[in-house]
Amino acid sequence: MRANNVKWLMALVAVIVVTISVQADDLVIKSFGGNGELVFNEITNAISYRVEWAPAAGGPWYSFEGSGMLNGIVATGAGSVTSSVPMFYRMVAVTNAPPPRSQNMVPISGGTNSGTDPDFGAYSLTVDTFYMDKYEVTNDEMVRVMQWAYDNSKLVVSSTSVKNAQGNQKELLDLDDIECRITWSGSLFGMESTKGSGYPCVEVTWYGAVAYCNYRSEMDGRTPCYDQSTWICNFSANGYRLPTNDEWEYAARGGLSGKRFPWGDTITQSRANYYSTLSYSYDINSTSGFHPDYDDGGHPYTSPVGDFAANGYGLYDMAGNVWEWCNDALGSTRYLRGGSWGGGAHNLRCGYELWDDPAYSDGTYVFRAVCR
């Protein structure tokens, strides 16, 4: 088609008003219906027509590339042509909301939980709203995140240890400890068949918990909270991090006030995985020793996450199974909360605190993440 045979149709579309103008006398718009139908007179020697659009009356003009509806409108020779023109608009609100959180996180509404603990006296915990993993981090989840980190050159891995490749290098996982359930093939992380899939990931240092939070943040399109050179947490970032001491205890209490445990003031092994003894009046279990359902296959005597009832916030194993690293420091140490399979009932109390070297790992140490 030669350029002098092309006539131009101009259609200006506003939010409500549609305006049509024509640059050539021999191209006449007959009608522009509210249903999006454009009717115009045909032009001598024309073989087809197209609809173009422009951001302003003076152009530049653009065709609707790839739309058969608005390109290659065939001349009929019948005097006029009717073509459907899409004239539907919608308003879309674009926000800077963070990417979706894991489905395994639950909201913890901010507020104050205060009362008198039977063993620790008066307490008051005030927190902002946050989200928390409903389960302790499993071996499966650790393998998923650490494999991503290795594939993205963020780790240095040997048969004995996993370390961060960037920043201040620290041991993250103690692979050669007999209680560790994570394996390494030389290029792939895996799990032992016993106490592996579905069980909490033990033998992780505080640095390992923090590094996991950063890598998981990157995987989910969030801003990492930790500087892995200084290991300082940026609480304004929207990435994953460890809970503060107050956040952990507030969440563990599950909305109850002044109770010894997340469910009340006494404990049995039907409630949690721990070592029962006759030393504490509030331990009313009928037998003593390790939990009989999990004391096999060698250490660790962990239980699968979620085996016991959740607390009032929908969180599992906030008492027993494994100790959980928290963000807060006490001198050169870091807090752990919640007790474990290897400890007595006194360790499982909501108000009880333990602290240890952040470089230390153990068959009773794990964590769970929080985020905004």
**Mean pLDDT of the region 317-322:** 98
| Residue 348 DSSP one-character state | G
For residues 30 and 39, the answer to whether their CB atoms sit within 8 Å is yes
How many other CB atoms are there within 10 angstroms of residue 272's CB atom? 28
Percent of all residues in the chain with a pLDDT value above 70, rounded to a whole number: 78
pLDDT of residue 340: 98
Domains parsed from the chain with CATH numbers:
3-84 (no CATH), 105-371 (3.90.1580.10)
Token pair, residue 327, equals 């963000």
**Mean pLDDT of the region 227-232:** 98
**Mean pLDDT of the region 282-309:** 96
Residue 304 phi/psi, 5-degree rounding, is: -60, 145
Query: Average pLDDT over the chain, rounded to whole?
Result: 86
DSSP string, 100-160: PPPTTEEEE--EEEEEEETTTEEEEEEE--EEEESSPPBHHHHHHHHHHHHHTT-EEE-SS
pLDDT of residue 101: 78
Q: 134 falls in which pLDDT band (50, 70, 90)?
A: very high
pLDDT of residue 21: 36
**Mean pLDDT of the region 285-291:** 97
pLDDT of residue 27: 46
Q: 4 falls in which pLDDT band (50, 70, 90)?
A: very low
pLDDT digits (tens, 9 = 90+) for 90-116: 555 555 566 777 789 999 999 999 999
- Single-letter amino acid, residue 176: D
pLDDT of residue 343: 97
pLDDT digits (tens, 9 = 90+) for 48-87: 777 676 666 677 766 655 544 456 566 777 777 676 665 4
Alpha-carbon distances of 56 from 2, 10, 59, rounded to whole Å: 26, 10, 5
Q: 266 falls in which pLDDT band (50, 70, 90)?
A: very high
Alpha-carbon distances of 178 from 160, 164, 190, 203, 363, rounded to whole Å: 11, 22, 15, 9, 9
Given a cut of 90, whether residue 174 has pLDDT beyond it is yes
pTM for the structure as a whole: 0.75
The residue assigned the tokens 């489905």 is 103
pLDDT of residue 95: 56
